[in-house]
Amino acid sequence: MTDLPRATDAEAFVREHATWMVRLAYLLTGGREDALDLAQETCERVWRSWDAVAAADDPRAYAATIMANLQRSRWRRKRPFEVPYEDTRHDAPTSTLGFEEVDALRRGLDRLSERQRKAIVLRYWVDLDDATIAEALDCRPATVRSLLARGVARLRADLDQSADGIGS
């Protein structure tokens, strides 16, 4: 027997934040198909854990943590012989940036380590604090700050290099 108010609230949350979850998943995975799978799995977990999600101070942050944990588990399960398809163009979320800027940012994120990319996405896309990111990445807040500093520095250097190449 389904608890109707729970289903209605969980469905409303998922409907309201579905686009945001897919975009977040895309930033975490780097691929459209993987992002859709991760977002779907996150929606399922949100529904199953709805009481905890609804009780959280920030349900979106809770959902983002679920997603980051699922992605970490998926990454650990990946088989070594798996070779992901690398497309030269990515389906980036719509934004005020032009395609060239979004593509350069996506390529820059692709060059970061998995943990740096997750830390940057969780900080600058989801706006989580160090402690919440540390919990999602299973590390200390000081490690999060280090991942962010190094990742942002690398991303800036890559984007500056891309900009120099475009102008030449």
Q: What is the pLDDT of residues 144-154, one digit of tens each?
A: 999 999 999 99
Q: Among 8-12, 63-67, 126-130, whose mean pLDDT is lowest?
A: 8-12
How distant, in Å, are the alpha carbons of 24, 93, 134, 151 from that of 146? 22, 27, 11, 8
CA dihedral angle for residue 23, residue 54, residue 51, residue 115, rounded to 10 degrees: 40
pLDDT of residue 83: 52
- In order of start, what are the domains of the chain with their CATH numbers? 1-81 (1.10.1740), 97-168 (1.10.10.10)
